[in-house]
Amino acid sequence: MQQLGSTMRVFRPFPGLVAFYDGRIEGMRLHSDKPNWLDDGAFALGVCTYALVDGEDALVYDTHISLQHARVVRRTLVEAGVRRIRVVLSHWHVDHVAGNEVFQDCEILAHRLTAEALDAHRQELEAGDPPIRPLVMPTRTYEDRLELQVGQFQVELRHADVHSLDGTVLLLPEHGLMLAGDTLEDPVTYVVEPERLAVHLRGLEQMARWNVRRILPNHGALETIEAGGYGPELIDATRSYVARLLRVREEPALAEADLPSFCRPAFDSGAIHYFPAYEAVHRRNVQAVI
């Protein structure tokens, strides 16, 4: 097995923003030859977390997929002169909170629903493969929006009921930049709440009205993220995908379509990029909705 964190790529897709990307490496596994969430979910699909840095202040957006990955994040920030770190959790899912323990001496912010979900799923997360033990909880919660200052950067945390009911996106309003967590993925969203998909579609429709010009998701193509991220077309592609998923129960031919056929206009436009591992995600999404 490859050493955890040894293939992490660190770069700056935007001034003041450090990205920590790992995964989408064919044939490589980090944890086990047996099926597990780290290898077959997070690492296979690629994970990128972020840190907004100005001088001695940093705001970390998600703590990555292992303690070793989180240690790379923290060491990188300390070596850059950071002395004050706060953490924001995008939502409660395992690949976004696995490194929390490395930041247990920092303020950890999350939506109230994230704290409640982590508490409700504590046993599941701590007994997982690999386990998140101990699960370090948020120390501060918010409801709808929360404004923060990180050095010169004005930051807004905003609740987004997309992908998961507790989603938090991070906005830099003055720059039109959004860190999207799992609310948006390239090429398609991973459906975990199929019974709430219509709610998520309304959340995406609301998001499309925000003044967002550049999007950095937690799961996407390395080259696109490294080049500065996605345009608002990613929101439109995700809306289209979710809307079509809601039709698969009544349209058998649509349910049988492979991913390129299902999303042909978005692929053709370049809004999203085909990645083979998402074929299984798409099949799982369709079956979940059916």
Q: Quick one: CATH architecture of 9-289?
A: 4-Layer Sandwich (3.60)
* pLDDT at residue 8, as a whole number: 97
So what's the pLDDT on residue 1?
66
* pTM, rounded to two decimals: 0.97
* Alpha-helical regions (H) of the chain: 37, 44-45, 67-79, 94-97, 112-120, 122-126, 197-207, 222-226, 233-245, 252-256, 259-262, 264-269, 278-289
The pLDDT tens digits of the residues spanning 239-267 come to: 999 999 999 999 989 999 999 999 999 99
Answer yes or no: are the C-beta atoms of 36 and 98 closer than 8 Å.
no
Q: Give the alpha-carbon dihedral of 190, 168, 69, 214, to 10 degrees.
A: 80
The pLDDT of residue 237 is: 98
Written as six digits, the tokens of 253 are 């031919």
pLDDT for res 275: 97
Positions of the chain with pLDDT lower than 50, given as ranges: none
Pairing of strands 84-88, 57-61: parallel
**How buried is residue 246: exposed, middle or buried, by Cβ count under 10 Å (0-12/13-18/19+)?**
middle
Q: Are the CB atoms for 70 and 77 separated by under 8 Å? A: no
Task: Break the chain into its structural domains and give their ranges.
Answer: 9-289
| pLDDT given at position 156 | 98
Place of tokens 């798409």: 282
Tens digit of pLDDT for each residue in 161-177?
Answer: 999 999 999 999 999 99
Q: Identify any residues that bridge with 60 across adjacent strands, giving them in sequence order.
A: 51, 87
Contact 272, 188 (CB under 8 A): yes
The percent of the chain in helix, strand and coil, each rounded to the nearest 5, is 35, 25, 40
